[in-house]
Structure 1
């Protein structure tokens, strides 16, 4: 077990969220489910927490009505090897959610994701400051990151 793992508070729809993530991320494992008892908290039998694993990382989804909302202050980066992966994760996670600028997506449960191609990081950390600057400038014009457009912008030097 990881020493530290994210504990995500969903507003009564944790089970639905975890099942959705299991369809999006290959190899997702759903772990222990804790349910309310006659002593509480919440209604007896209702899901309280669900453990799940995405790409070997453990998460816990907490299921309890709340006024708390997810914000951009915490997000999860999905490292994508190519445009096909960018497109896949962008399309899945933005469905019913909200596409944002610079590769960010708020999914339909309110959680924030950064759909980030490895190539973007390579270009933005290039030792040539001109390439890094052109990559950053190009990224700032995009919602979903387009690797080919990044490459063209960086080659335009």
Structure 2
């Protein structure tokens, strides 16, 4: 069995997936194709479908006009090893979108992303519950996550 996430874009699907695949190493667009049959969303050729990967995750996308907008019930989480990588992704994805608490943002197409340091998962799974509490409290005060700030909270500074 294969599992693939599927995204529905009202418009600009090609621009969105081109942008996403340019940001995340190991990503690529496999194919983009118009649907040649008439669909409930439009005449032949007006609906596009694509296959792409972001890192090691498989996605399909469709551009077929308005249906349901993206919301928080689906997000893409990207774990970054360095603050530099986190900052680069954060800055690129927030352009034209909006930022939220705890490393969440919505890009210009309305898709929700969580940009988090890999270190956060390590700190949150520490057996020292006082440390986990400090890290959680620090994270809750952040918009873009800051590795140094999380490390300082873990150390009790």
Alpha-carbon separation, structure 2, partners of 1:12 and 1:20 = 14
Residue 65 of structure 2 corresponds to which residue in structure 1? 65
| Equivalent residues, number | 155
Residue 106 of structure 2 corresponds to which residue in structure 1? 106
- For structure 1, which segment, 25-34 or 147-156, has the greater mean C-alpha deviation from structure 2 after superposition? 25-34
Residue 92 of structure 1 corresponds to which residue in structure 2? 92
Q: TM-score, normalised by structure 2?
A: 0.91
Deviation at 1:4, TM superposition (A): 1.0
- Structure 2 residue 13 is matched with structure 1 residue 35: no
Alpha-carbon separation, structure 2, partners of 1:85 and 1:124 = 20
Residue segments in structure 1 that go unaligned for 5+ positions in a row:
none
Q: TM-score, normalised by structure 1?
A: 0.91
Give runs of ≥4 in structure 1 deviating > 2 Å.
Answer: 41-47
Residue-by-residue CA offset, 1:33-57 (whole Å, 9 max, x unaligned): 22132x3133443352011111132
Alpha-carbon separation, structure 2, partners of 1:133 and 1:106 = 27
Root-mean-square deviation over aligned CA pairs: 1.6
Residue 124 of structure 1 corresponds to which residue in structure 2? 124
Residue segments in structure 2 that go unaligned for 5+ positions in a row:
none
Deviation at 1:79, TM superposition (A): 0.9
Check 1:107–1:28 CA distance in 2 against 1; reply closer, same or farther (3 A cut): same
The answer (yes or no) to whether the contact 1:35–1:47 under 8 Å persists in 2 is yes
